[in-house]
């Protein structure tokens, strides 16, 4: 008993207990996150999808991303980015890039839906990563009010409170979200394309992401009930319009007065 008591007082005992606590906490967090993530994602890829995707990848993507997706100076590694990143980047036409620039621009898709699925299957086979979201989170039947609050707290500083987009630094920008597919909105949140941060399920739950999509689709459908929206760019655009219009009225009134006196 005395020997056991002495071991408990060993200087490394506290360090060992702390290490065990960290490992236990990390393991529980990882398990909870993976379970939550599995509920929100659904991938059904076959071996044929992976094989066909590899052919497409070698022919169209390997120049920048390397034959095994390990990356080159011209393109980042794709190991571990998951199927969701491919479905977003390729599905919105951002990849393959048309030209090098501050960020990939949206353009017409180069691949159809089946080819995009095959590319996603191959990249998903390179390493575990975010999967394509399940349809139950894309139905637009979430809580728009809750989604609006989440959007204003987490997204509005870049995308604008009305989701009209906004400028960032060094020629980059946050795009407007009108007309964006629900799946692509969800995928952007879980993969963090361009300058966007990743919103894991620990930050915003799958239900919260569903609410955000519902909010975006609600304001898109409602339009601008207050009249001319001026690009939904907020007080800067509105103030500029008032300043120019007001100044124009003052100048016109001044010209009218001077013409009267002459």
Most confident of 27-31, 234-238, 248-252: 248-252
Least confident of 26-40, 68-82, 137-151, 224-238: 26-40
Q: What is the pLDDT of residues 164-221, one digit of tens each?
A: 888 888 889 999 999 999 999 999 999 999 889 999 999 999 999 999 999 999 998 8
Residues 104 and 212 in one domain: no
Asked if the structure places residue 260 within a domain, the reply is: no
Domain span at residue 83 reads 46-132
- Residue 229 neighbours by CB distance under 10 Å: 14
Residues 119 and 161 in one domain: no
Q: What is the pLDDT of residues 89-144, one digit of tens each?
A: 999 999 998 888 889 899 999 999 999 999 999 999 999 899 999 999 999 999 99
Residues 250 and 177 in one domain: yes
Asked if the structure places residue 211 within a domain, the reply is: yes
Residue 110 or residue 10, greater confidence = 110
Measured CA to CA in angstroms, residue 7 lies from 1, 2, 23, 55 at distances of 10, 9, 22, 60
Q: Are 53 and 123 in contact (CB under 8 A)?
A: yes
Asked if the structure places residue 86 within a domain, the reply is: yes
Residues 110 and 220 in one domain: no
Q: What is the pLDDT of residue 167?
A: 86
Whether residue 254 has pLDDT greater than 90: no
Number of H helices, E strands in the chain: 11, 2
What letter would DSSP give residue 166?
E
pTM over 0.85: no
Measured CA to CA in angstroms, residue 14 lies from 19, 67, 102, 192 at distances of 9, 48, 49, 39
Residues 110 and 174 in one domain: no
Residue 2 or residue 91, greater confidence = 91
Asked if the structure places residue 3 within a domain, the reply is: no
Residues 210 and 104 in one domain: no
Dist. CA 99–CA 93, nearest whole Å: 12
Q: List the CATH number of the domain containing 70.
A: 1.10.760.10
- Residue 212 neighbours by CB distance under 10 Å: 29
70-85 mean pLDDT = 93
Residues 60 and 123 in one domain: yes
Coil, helix or strand for 131? coil
- Residue 30 neighbours by CB distance under 10 Å: 10
Asked if the structure places residue 83 within a domain, the reply is: yes
Q: Are 88 and 130 in contact (CB under 8 A)?
A: no
69-90 mean pLDDT = 93
12-23 mean pLDDT = 72
Per DSSP, what are the bridge partners of residue 167? Answer: 173
| Residue with token string 């349809």 | 135
Residue 162 or residue 26, greater confidence = 162
Residues 155 and 246 in one domain: yes
Residues 81 and 123 in one domain: yes
Beta strands in the chain (DSSP E): 166-167, 173-174
Residues 100 and 170 in one domain: no
Tokens of 1: 């008993």
Last-in-domain residue among 94, 116, 132: 132
Whether residue 156 has pLDDT greater than 80: yes
Last-in-domain residue among 76, 97, 132: 132
The count of structural domains within the chain is 2
Asked if the structure places residue 122 within a domain, the reply is: yes
Residue 35 or residue 147, greater confidence = 147
Whether residue 38 has pLDDT greater than 50: no
């Amino acid at each position: 008993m005395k020997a056991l008591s002495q071991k408990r007082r060993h200087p490394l005992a506290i360090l060992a207990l702390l290490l065990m606590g960290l490992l236990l906490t990390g393991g529980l967090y990882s398990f909870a996150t993976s379970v939550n993530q599995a509920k929100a994602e659904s991938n059904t890829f076959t071996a044929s999808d992976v094989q066909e995707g590899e052919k497409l990848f070698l022919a169209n993507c390997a120049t920048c991303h390397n034959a095994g997706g390990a990356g080159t100076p011209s393109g980042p590694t794709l190991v571990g980015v998951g199927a969701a990143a491919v479905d977003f980047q390729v599905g919105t036409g951002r990849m393959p890039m048309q030209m090098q620039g501050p960020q990939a621009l949206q353009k017409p898709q180069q691949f159809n839906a089946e080819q995009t699925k095959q590319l996603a299957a191959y990249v998903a086979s390179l390493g575990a990563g975010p999967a394509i979201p399940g349809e139950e989170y894309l139905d637009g039947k979430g809580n728009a009010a809750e989604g609006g609050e989440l959007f204003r707290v987490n997204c509005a500083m870049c995308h604008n409170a009305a989701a009209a987009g906004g400028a960032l630094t060094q020629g980059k920008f946050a795009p407007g979200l009108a007309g964006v597919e629900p799946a692509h909105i969800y995928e952007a949140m879980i993969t963090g394309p361009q300058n966007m941060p990743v919103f894991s399920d620990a930050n915003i739950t799958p239900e919260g992401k569903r609410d955000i999509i519902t909010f975006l689709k609600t304001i898109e459908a409602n339009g601008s009930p207050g009249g001319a929206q001026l690009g939904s760019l907020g007080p800067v655009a509105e103030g500029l319009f008032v300043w120019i219009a007001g100044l124009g009225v003052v100048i016109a009134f001044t010209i009218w007065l001077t013409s009267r006196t002459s």
